[in-house]
């Protein structure tokens, strides 16, 4: 059993993302062999460009703020605190802070991505 303490874990900005900080909760380097779990915060106008993970599913669970999910410039979903979305392997997706307040979300990626930043 492993414990992650508040404010511990590596911080980074994922590739092809902007004005966003991600903190590792668990990943293969910290003992989770089969999943990557992160806490991401998106400032105003923050997000990512379209991306696709051919071999990994991702679950986004919104803790605070408004998160917009789009693909190829088309808005697909607007998520509020308590909402979650499953992005299946191979799905094109982009994220964007859809409001004035900071967005906080937990992201679970299975299997973990080989490159995150």
- What is the tens place of the pLDDT at every residue in 48-66? 999 999 999 999 999 999 9
Q: What is the pLDDT of residue 115?
A: 67
- Model confidence pLDDT, tens digit, residues 15-31: 889 999 999 999 999 98
3-class SS of residue 91: coil
Q: What is the pLDDT of residue 16?
A: 85
The angle formed by the CA atoms of residues 113, 5 and 47, to the nearest 5 degrees, is 45
- Chain position carrying tokens 């990943």: 27
- Model confidence pLDDT, tens digit, residues 65-111: 999 999 999 999 999 999 999 999 999 999 999 999 999 999 999 99
Q: Model's pTM, two decimal places?
A: 0.93
Question: In CATH terms, is domain 11-110 a member of 2.60.120.10?
Answer: yes
Are the C-beta atoms of residues 13 and 38 closer than 8 Å to each other? no
Pairing of strands 36-48, 17-26: antiparallel
């Amino acid at each position: 059993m492993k414990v992650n303490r508040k404010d511990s874990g590596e911080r980074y900005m994922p590739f092809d993302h902007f004005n966003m900080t991600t903190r590792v909760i668990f990943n293969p380097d910290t003992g989770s062999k089969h999943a990557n779990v992160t806490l991401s915060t998106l400032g105003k106008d923050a997000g990512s460009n379209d991306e696709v993970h051919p071999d990994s599913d991702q679950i986004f669970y919104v803790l605070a703020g408004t998160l917009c999910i789009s693909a190829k410039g088309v808005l697909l979903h607007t998520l509020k605190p308590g909402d979650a979305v499953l992005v299946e392997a191979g799905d094109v997706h982009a994220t964007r802070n859809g409001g004035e307040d900071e967005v906080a979300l937990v992201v679970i990626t299975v299997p973990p991505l080989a490159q995150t930043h």
